Amino acid sequence: MIQITIDGKKLEVEEGTTILQAAEKAEIQIPTLCYHPLLEPYASCRVCVVEVNRQGKKELVTSCNTQVQPGMVIETQSERALRARKLNVEMLLARAPAAKPVQKIALELGIEKPRFEIKDPDRKCILCGLCVRTCEQVVGANAISFINRGQEREVSPPFGEPSEACIGCTACAYFCPTEAITFEDIHDRKVIHDELYLGPSTAIRVPVRQAVPMVPFIDEDNCIHFKTGNCQLCVKVCEKEAINHEMKEEEIEIEVGSIILASGFKSFDAYRIPAYGYGRFPNVITALEFERLVNASGPTGGKILLANGEEPKAVGIIHCVGSRDENYNEYCSRVCCMYSLKFAHLIKEKTEADIYDFYIDMRCFGKGYEEFYHRLLHEGTKFIRGRVSEITDIPLTEEEDGKLIIRVEDTLIGTVRRIPVDMVILATGLEPGLSHSELAHTFNISCSQDTFFLERHPKLAPVSTFSDGIFLAGTCQAPKDIPDTVAQAGAAASEALALADKGSFELEPITAEIDEKLCAGCQICVSLCPFSAITYNKEKHISEVNEALCKGCGTCVAACPSGAAQQKHFRDIQIMAEIEGIFID
């Protein structure tokens, strides 16, 4: 251990510790702009300059890359250090006057305006090198670097053109302290409300908050290490050394008595309707993006703001986006009407904006829902009945200038209207989940015409399927709201527990069976069985019937070319005897 003194405080630190790290340990703040604990020190901004006394010799050093020495006396707020720090900040402020971190430090140091000439008032880059070092040391792509010298020095890809080495990881934008590099600079398509991004936030994450077990996983498709071989920041910061990039996926077999399918839904992709301008107009957002925006932990702290940071004066909410439409989904998604009314109420509560609610039919089916609809009417929400044809930004009048114009046929007054608004919320419908078809094939579940899982009976067995022991819960069966989903989940759990409590179940008396002597092993029955009740025994070279799965439909019996498949109580000899009995009578 090395003993040092920093601002009058005596400390013991390990050998190799930098002055900046020692100051953090002593809870002494030293400003810095180019330092990041996950990168090698660069000392380009020189804002972290301090005065040190080594064996009676005083000098100014940068604290981020200077290691402590025995007996070193450090002053972070000496007159000489502050004077040098102010000069460095003044030069940075003159170079990048639009950089907010520089403005903040300048204000703390009492600098209102730099003494040096400002050439570009909009410049933000301070040449800290965080982006360049991130791309080189962490990502390993080396897609950007410093070019030119002196006042012409800047960060750029080779020859100022997009580099093929760039993998689009956006790490440079994440590390940039001044927002000189943004996500829009990296992606070819303009990112619409990138702070409202609803997909995976990182390459390593827990799938859902209710995951069991609560263990994160690494997404190989998005992990920088699997793209370039570098990074591994997660390994460096994990104290338990629990991360191993060499692990492979493995399949685990678990024997269970029943299965509850609750695969959920996916939101309709609003890009599929180009006329609504999603992806082209920054202030056209989906319902889930608005949920993120209005949330207290969201990017605006719950404030409803446009992409330019202003509060909207008029908001349009469009129902049935992707639902009740012959071009996409003909069914009703059920939840859209009520969450659209909730949005209208929240907007009224948080802003003074006018709200236009465009609907086809208002379907308020639940307890208290109709009363909530009437409440919105009294609050002043303007309801317009009719399907929106398009959203455009081309004005025809001065009133429409700078606005989004919603074109709709108002069926109640029989005319086409143009409604200018600042923000549009698309109430997207519900579709079967991404793995829906795979699950249907795996568990041999039938699907209805709208491709949701089909229940055994809509009234008498709404959570059961035609496969015994497999039950449905939630929106994998059909679009439904939270109360209905909770109720169905409880019913499905009860059905599964009933089987477990009983410990046994009754077999169908008319199941099929295979005569081993006659079976030729052609496997025609295996492919035809609608309940996956027949498997092929490779050792015996014959087909075998699982009586627990067989429903006695007779498909295999009718298809078997050798007559090896027979159905109990419906064997040929029994049927012929019945026919004979009829003729005798």
Q: The domain spanning residue 6 has which CATH number? A: 3.10.20.740
Q: How far apart are CA 183 and CA 170, in angstroms?
A: 6
Q: List the strands of the sheet with 354-359, edge to edge.
A: 284-286, 423-428, 314-321, 354-359, 382-385
Q: Which letter, b or e, does each residue of 447-481 get, where b requires 16 or more Cβ atoms within 10 Å of its Cβ?
A: eeeeebbbbbeeeeebbbbbbbbbbbbbbbbbbbb
Whether residue 545 sits in one domain with residue 482: no
pLDDT, residue 299, reads 77
CA 394 to chain centre: 33
Any idea which residue has 């082209």 for tokens? 280
In a domain? residue 221? no
Q: How far apart are CA 48 and CA 63, in angstroms?
A: 6
> In the chain, how many domains are there?
4
pLDDT, residue 191, reads 35
**Other residues' Cβ atoms within 10 Å of the Cβ of residue 280:** 15
Burial, 397: exposed, middle or buried (Cβ in 10 Å; 0-12, 13-18, 19+)? exposed
pTM for the model? 0.65
- CATH number for the domain including 322? 3.50.50.60
pLDDT, residue 194, reads 47
pLDDT, residue 503, reads 72
Sign of CA dihedral 107, 108, 111, 114: negative
Whether residue 468 sits in one domain with residue 519: no
Among residues 126, 158, 129, 128, the alpha carbon closest in space to that of 143 is found at 158
Q: How far apart are CA 76 and CA 62, in angstroms?
A: 11
In a domain? residue 216? no
Residue 141's domain comprises 130-196
196, 218, 237 — which closes off a domain?
A: 196
Q: Each residue of 512-560: pLDDT tens digit?
A: 999 999 999 999 999 898 888 899 999 999 999 988 888 888 999 999 9
In a domain? residue 411? yes
pLDDT, residue 199, reads 55
Whether residue 326 sits in one domain with residue 412: yes
- 3-state DSSP call for residue 533? coil
CA 200 to chain centre: 4
Show the low-confidence residues of the chain (pLDDT under 50): 188-195
Whether residue 100 sits in one domain with residue 144: no
CA 423 to chain centre: 22
Whether residue 388 sits in one domain with residue 305: yes
- 8 A C-beta contact, residue 560 and residue 554: no
Whether residue 564 sits in one domain with residue 451: no
Whether residue 535 sits in one domain with residue 471: no
Sign of CA dihedral 270, 210, 231, 63: positive
Q: How far apart are CA 147 and CA 402, in angstroms?
A: 39
% helix / strand / coil in the chain, to the nearest 5? 30, 20, 50
pLDDT, residue 159, reads 80
Q: In this structure, what token pair is assigned to residue 488?
A: 């169905």
Helix (H) or strand (E) holding 404: strand 404-410
452, 472, 505 — which closes off a domain?
A: 505
Whether residue 415 sits in one domain with residue 356: yes
In a domain? residue 211? no
pLDDT, residue 184, reads 61
146, 169, 196 — which closes off a domain?
A: 196
Whether residue 495 sits in one domain with residue 347: yes
Residues in the chain: 585
Q: How far apart are CA 562 and CA 519, in angstroms?
A: 7
Q: How far apart are CA 319 and CA 444, in angstroms?
A: 34
Q: In this structure, what token pair is assigned to residue 561?
A: 């070319």
Q: In this structure, what token pair is assigned to residue 57?
A: 């010799």
Whether residue 300 sits in one domain with residue 438: yes
pLDDT, residue 578, reads 87
In a domain? residue 544? yes
- 8 A C-beta contact, residue 465 and residue 471: yes
In a domain? residue 237? no
Q: What is the DSSP string of 188-224?
A: SSPPTTGGG--S-SSSEE-S-TT-SS---EE-TTT-H
Whether residue 498 sits in one domain with residue 520: no
**Other residues' Cβ atoms within 10 Å of the Cβ of residue 392:** 18
- 8 A C-beta contact, residue 158 and residue 210: no
Whether residue 134 sits in one domain with residue 78: no
**Other residues' Cβ atoms within 10 Å of the Cβ of residue 61:** 19
Helix axes 287-294, 336-350, angle to 10 degrees: 30
Q: In this structure, what token pair is assigned to residue 96?
A: 């990048």
pLDDT, residue 197, reads 53
In a domain? residue 209? no
pLDDT, residue 190, reads 36
